[in-house]
A and B are shown apart, each in its own frame.
Chain A
Amino acid sequence: MAPPVSNEDSYDKSRSTGKAMTEDRDRQAGGRPRLALQGISKRYPDCLANDHIDLEVLPGELHALLGENGAGKSTLVKIIYGVVHADEGTAFWEGEAVKILSPAFARRLGIGMVFQHFTLFESLTVAENIALGIDDSGEMRALSEHIRATARHYGLALDPHRTVHDLSVGERQRVEIVRCLMQAPRLLIMDEPTAVLTPQEAERLFATLRQLAAQGCSVLYISHKLDEVRSLCERATVLRGGRVSAECDPRAETTGSLARMMVGSEVVAAARPLPHAPGPEALVVSGLRLASADPFGSDLSDIRLSLREGEILGIAGVAGNGQAELLLALAGERLAPAPADVRLLGEPVGRLGPAGRRARGLAFVPEDKLGRGAVSEMSMAENTLLTAYLGGLVRCGLIRFGRARALAGRISRDFNVAAGGVDSPAGSLSGGNLQKFIVGRELLQRPRVLIAAHPTWGLDVGAGLTIHRELVALRDAGAAVLVVSEDLDELFEICDRIAVISKGRLSAARRVAETTSEEIGLLMGGLSDEEHAGGRHDAA
């Protein structure tokens, strides 16, 4: 999240692509960009994802592609990698016009891409995965040697014979990167690579990327994390609403000015929550152990947490460390072994399902919005029934459609959900609007305890702030709020205390004022409290 912006003047292309930069470019590249896009457009049935986009990436350049969710970044890189075909426009590869028809063709040109969501087979080894992913893998033993050599060259520790499901998320990303590097790419596309990394892992990744760039490989780095881009990249192209809104040197910008280019208006941060005197315990988990239903999931071991009324407790962690299992156990979709393992407002609810817990004042914003938080084929009005059915929407077993529609209308108004109307199917909403709808639906039930998984995932800055303000307001009204997120900035911004989940264990919670993102990052990386000297504990 961006802090308040200083009052600088507006940005336009002429200012950003000034004379100094042009000279710089000429010196580096001899005037010929490695990749140039001219007037690339792509229309989807419901939106214009890319609108005449121009982009130049020079050899050996760390080039950032900035933009909010929905700005068209993903579409653009899919076009570059040949996954999607542009409707209009031309791509030039090292000066020659090319039609990138498929990812295989892109790889032959020398374009490699590391996707945000990994495309690895969990039950195969690193070498087997790499053999599957490259076009001509050759003999297995030679390949393993090649993997080892490539990894060593870039200072990446990687054992070709380990099975992928034993690897951490950071290690899996390394597999993806090495897979690309083995084909000696001349342009490496990284799609939000740090979303799943701890701060320490991210630093290691940056070192690798800098080394690559120094050796002449261009890197197109997609992100909306402004600090990262400022410290890593030499040039940035900012997208907004499918168009290029600015080009600049991110090192010469402030986080605030970059945010303004992305959002197009002044960004006002949520008021930093005041320290608050927390009330009695609202949600207590004492020594919960639960085996994961997913063979590659994390078993919960001895989870202890205490959430008080009037506070926001954040749970940080790298994805796949037991968050999903913990959320299911708290919501009641997985039952605890004993009733007293989970206490809600003083009452043992460990053996109660979601409906029973909801009736006792719990509300829940799930991680997956479509298919879990909402049924895509059903209208927004019908989707209010999913969790708000206790609030007078059902009488004598029959649905009161009038009330459901009124509630859907109220959610849309209060939370600025842009939709066709309360009768339009939830699946027709954009990700951000659906997110606002679900959060709004849960908040309007005035819960005494709210559990929110990734509450601002997929939202633009403004909508994210709205939701943060609502969460803080709910806390100030005396409710207890638990936020599970992978975004440390978000947690530090709204939480009173933060705990870290790693390998199915939950650390003691720390007061936000008394910890740092480095400390949380170390815990996320799996360093336990005992190993981590100097960790401040408080009763949890």
Chain B
Amino acid sequence: MMLPRLEPRAEASPLARYLSPFLAAALALFCGGLLFASLGYDPLVAFHAFFIKPVSSLYGLGEVALKASPLLLCALGLAVGFRCNVWNIGAEGQFTMGAIAGGGLALVFPHGNGIWLLPAMILAGAFGGMAWAAIPAFLRTRFNTSEILTSLMLSYVALLVLSYLVHGPWRDPAGFNFPQSRQFEDAALFPILFAGTRVNLSCALPLAVLPAVWVLLERSFIGFQIKVVGLAPAAAAYAGFKEAHLVWLSLLLGGAFAGIAGVDEVAGPIGQLLPHISPGYGFAAIIVAFLGRLHPLGILVASLLMALVYLGGESVQVSLGLPLAVAGVFQGMLLFFLLGCDIFVRYRLSFGPGAAAARLP
């Protein structure tokens, strides 16, 4: 049989592990170029519109920061879980619940103008996200339910809850029947940091969280326990690390970060509750976390790239008339090529009968 086979490599090179995201990005770009060409656009023009134009102005750079910040926050939380074998796919739902909780607070205190309102909204958002993440955590630790399914399905529940609220009880009476809440008061909005951009104070939050997550993952004993549970659950049981506690911790942390990101979005660029507040940040954050090798600094870089993909999609829509789905295609290709490259970090392709250790009788 001369079919190609995948053979495990003796040792995965660490260098290849860190190069694979770059290779994946390059391959995604190349295939993107093919895609543009096949649609009849000059790839160079399209690339310019996709990747250069969005960041060629101060405003554009601000937009990158604005889009990268929720991605970064969600992905940092998810990375903690992914290291712990907790496959939280529901950051989108936790994001939405955080937005509902934080935004709800802004709606409950329409005339609240104290300095306390924003911190309280952030806190409420964190609790909203945590509450939503607590459901998969409970189901996993109590009934051994796959958190992949529960967290994913709860995302759609969260979107329906938001939809119900803005179509029903929280609909703006003066909003011409549009499904949207009242506009938040100024005290419930993050102040703009740089004039001429939409960059607001919430963009500083993930940068404050990032070092903390780095210490947690790379230097703390809890982070060590999380890694052991992720890499070798039996070793964690042997060492006496309490897996259930760590599952709770990582899901709650992920939920809290995603919930805060939801508040940042509604109390930042949006300024009210709408049926759709996230262009898929919670899902894109999964790609960001893996593209960044589950390392805080890598995730920072990956979130900037992913933000650019979002903006590029909008940019080619405006300047070339391409559908917004191009951004989604790019995201998909990035993840696809990353997973593909990672396979080849650990395996190599071989033809014909080789060392057939993998073919035991």
Chain A residues with Cβ below 8 Å from B219 are 398-399
Q: Which of B231, B239, B356, B357 contacts A377 (CB 8 A)?
A: B231
Instruction: Judge whether B360 is part of the interface by a CB distance below 8 angstroms.
Output: yes
Question: With the chains together, A45 CA to B215 CA distance in Å?
Answer: 36
Chain A positions 88-124 with a Cβ under 8 Å from a chain B Cβ? 101-104, 119
Interface size, chain A (Cβ < 8 Å): 42
A371-B235, A375-B235, A398-B220 given; A354·B240 CB < 8 A:
yes
Instruction: Judge whether A364 is part of the interface by a CB distance below 8 angstroms.
Output: yes
Question: With the chains together, A398 CA to B227 CA distance in Å?
Answer: 14
Chain B positions 203-260 with a Cβ under 8 Å from a chain A Cβ? 215, 219-222, 224, 227-228, 231-232, 234-235, 237-242
Chain A residues with Cβ below 8 Å from B10 are 44-46
Q: Which of B224, B242, B356, B361 contacts A399 (CB 8 A)?
A: B224
A83-B361, A375-B231, A378-B227 given; A354·B237 CB < 8 A:
yes
A85-B353, A85-B356 given; A353·B221 CB < 8 A:
no
Q: Which of A356, A386, A399 contacts B220 (CB 8 A)?
A: A399
Per-residue CB proximity of B5-35 to A under 8 Å, as 1/0?
A: 0000011000000000000000000000000
Closest to B239 in A: A386
B133 to chain A, nearest CB (A): 23
A313 to chain B, nearest CB (A): 21
Question: With the chains together, A377 CA to B10 CA distance in Å?
Answer: 13
Instruction: Judge whether B355 is part of the interface by a CB distance below 8 angstroms.
Output: yes
Question: With the chains together, A130 CA to B242 CA distance in Å?
Answer: 43
Instruction: Judge whether A125 is part of the interface by a CB distance below 8 angstroms.
Output: no
Question: With the chains together, A104 CA to B215 CA distance in Å?
Answer: 54
Question: With the chains together, A119 CA to B241 CA distance in Å?
Answer: 34
B157 to chain A, nearest CB (A): 34
Chain B positions 304-361 with a Cβ under 8 Å from a chain A Cβ? 353-357, 359-361
Chain B residues with Cβ below 8 Å from A368 are 234
Chain B residues with Cβ below 8 Å from A394 are 221
Question: With the chains together, A382 CA to B227 CA distance in Å?
Answer: 11
Question: With the chains together, A394 CA to B239 CA distance in Å?
Answer: 15
Q: Which of B231, B238, B353, B361 contacts A364 (CB 8 A)?
A: B238
Interface size, chain B (Cβ < 8 Å): 28
A332-B240, A397-B221 given; A85·B235 CB < 8 A:
no
Closest to B227 in A: A378
Chain A positions 17-46 with a Cβ under 8 Å from a chain B Cβ? 44-46
Q: Which of A44, A102, A372 contacts B235 (CB 8 A)?
A: A372
Query: How many pairs of A and B residues are in contact by the CB < 8 Å rule?
Result: 89
Question: With the chains together, A266 CA to B12 CA distance in Å?
Answer: 39
CB pair A356–B240 under 8 Å, yes or no, is: yes
Question: With the chains together, A355 CA to B242 CA distance in Å?
Answer: 9
CB pair B238–A373 under 8 Å, yes or no, is: yes
Question: With the chains together, A357 CA to B357 CA distance in Å?
Answer: 41
Q: Which of B240, B242, B356 contacts A84 (CB 8 A)?
A: B356
Question: With the chains together, A332 CA to B238 CA distance in Å?
Answer: 9
CB pair B237–A333 under 8 Å, yes or no, is: yes
B354 to chain A, nearest CB (A): 8
Closest to B357 in A: A84
Question: With the chains together, A437 CA to B238 CA distance in Å?
Answer: 16
Per-residue CB proximity of A369-402 to B under 8 Å, as 1/0?
A: 0011111111000100111010000100111000
Instruction: Judge whether A366 is part of the interface by a CB distance below 8 angstroms.
Output: yes
A423 to chain B, nearest CB (A): 12
Chain A positions 333-360 with a Cβ under 8 Å from a chain B Cβ? 333, 353-358
CB pair B234–A372 under 8 Å, yes or no, is: yes
Q: Which of A331, A372, A428 contacts B232 (CB 8 A)?
A: A372
Q: Which of A81, A83, A357, A428 contacts B11 (CB 8 A)?
A: A428
A76 to chain B, nearest CB (A): 14
Chain B residues with Cβ below 8 Å from A428 are 11
Q: Which of A45, A46, A354, A389 contacts B221 (CB 8 A)?
A: A389
Chain A residues with Cβ below 8 Å from B353 are 85, 101
CB pair A382–B240 under 8 Å, yes or no, is: no
Chain A residues with Cβ below 8 Å from B360 are 83
A83-B360, A85-B355 given; A331·B238 CB < 8 A:
yes
Chain A positions 481-520 with a Cβ under 8 Å from a chain B Cβ? none
CB pair B238–A375 under 8 Å, yes or no, is: no
A332 to chain B, nearest CB (A): 7
CB pair A353–B238 under 8 Å, yes or no, is: no
Question: With the chains together, A378 CA to B220 CA distance in Å?
Answer: 15
B201 to chain A, nearest CB (A): 30
Closest to A359 in B: B240
B22 to chain A, nearest CB (A): 22
CB pair B235–A355 under 8 Å, yes or no, is: no
A408 to chain B, nearest CB (A): 14
Chain B residues with Cβ below 8 Å from A353 are 240, 242
Closest to A428 in B: B11
Question: With the chains together, A218 CA to B231 CA distance in Å?
Answer: 45
Chain B residues with Cβ below 8 Å from A376 are 231-232
CB pair A387–B356 under 8 Å, yes or no, is: no
| 5 tightest Cβ-Cβ pairs between the two chains A and B | A355-B240, A354-B240, A45-B10, A103-B361, A372-B234
Interface pairs (14), CB distance under 8 Å: A44-B355, A81-B361, A85-B355, A103-B361, A353-B240, A353-B242, A354-B239, A355-B240, A356-B240, A376-B232, A385-B221, A397-B222, A399-B220, A399-B221
